[in-house]
């Protein structure tokens, strides 16, 4: 099996065939992480309900939580209006970040000048 052709036709991929995936906690809206998906990773995510990504550094698929136990149970998946970003709403078990933090976006908040 492969990704539904209608979905695949909507995707706008990078030169290396990837689409960024924003991952959000489904019930609170908390942004957890950004990862990368190709057609097969998206297909696996849609058919298993487990968040599956393409690791650019390892050049392989990884299921979030497969080794760490910090799983992402997918509640919904959406494409943005351009088809160049995927939004996964998940129920996160444990930490989302590889550093052990709940989210990848809580470590270094930048200062913004007043408008």
Q: How many domains does the chain have?
A: 1
C-beta separation of 93 from 73 below 8 A: yes
Question: Does 11 map to a domain?
Answer: yes
Domain, as residue range, for 63: 5-92
CATH code assigned at 10: 3.10.20.810
Which residue bears the tokens 């930048």? Answer: 110
Question: Does 97 map to a domain?
Answer: no
What residues have CB less than 8 Å from 44, skipping those under 6 apart? 50, 52, 61, 63
Question: Does 98 map to a domain?
Answer: no
Question: Does 104 map to a domain?
Answer: no
Question: Does 83 map to a domain?
Answer: yes
pLDDT value of residue 108: 80
Please report which confidence band the pLDDT of residue 106 belongs to, taking 50, 70 and 90 as the band edges: confident
Please give the Cα distance from 103 to 11 (Å, whole number): 26
Q: What is the pLDDT of residues 31-85, one digit of tens each?
A: 999 999 999 999 999 999 999 999 999 999 999 999 999 999 999 999 999 999 9
SS3 77: strand
C-beta separation of 50 from 41 below 8 A: no
Question: Does 72 map to a domain?
Answer: yes
Q: To the nearest whole percent, how much of the chain has pLDDT over 90?
A: 92
Question: Does 13 map to a domain?
Answer: yes
Q: pTM above the 0.95 mark?
A: no
Strand blocks (E) in 38-109: 52-55, 60-63, 72-79, 86-92
Question: Does 102 map to a domain?
Answer: no
């Amino acid at each position: 099996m492969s990704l539904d052709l209608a979905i695949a036709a909507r995707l706008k991929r990078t030169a290396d065939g990837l689409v960024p995936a924003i991952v959000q906690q489904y019930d609170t809206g908390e942004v957890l992480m950004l990862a990368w998906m190709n057609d097969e990773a998206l297909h696996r995510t849609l058919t298993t309900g487990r968040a599956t990504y393409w690791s650019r550094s390892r050049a392989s698929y990884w299921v979030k939580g497969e080794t760490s136990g910090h799983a992402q149970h997918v509640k919904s998946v959406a494409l943005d209006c351009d088809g160049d970003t995927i939004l996964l709403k998940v129920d996160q078990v444990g930490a989302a970040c590889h550093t052990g933090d709940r989210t990848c976006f809580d470590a270094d908040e930048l200062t913004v000048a007043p408008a």
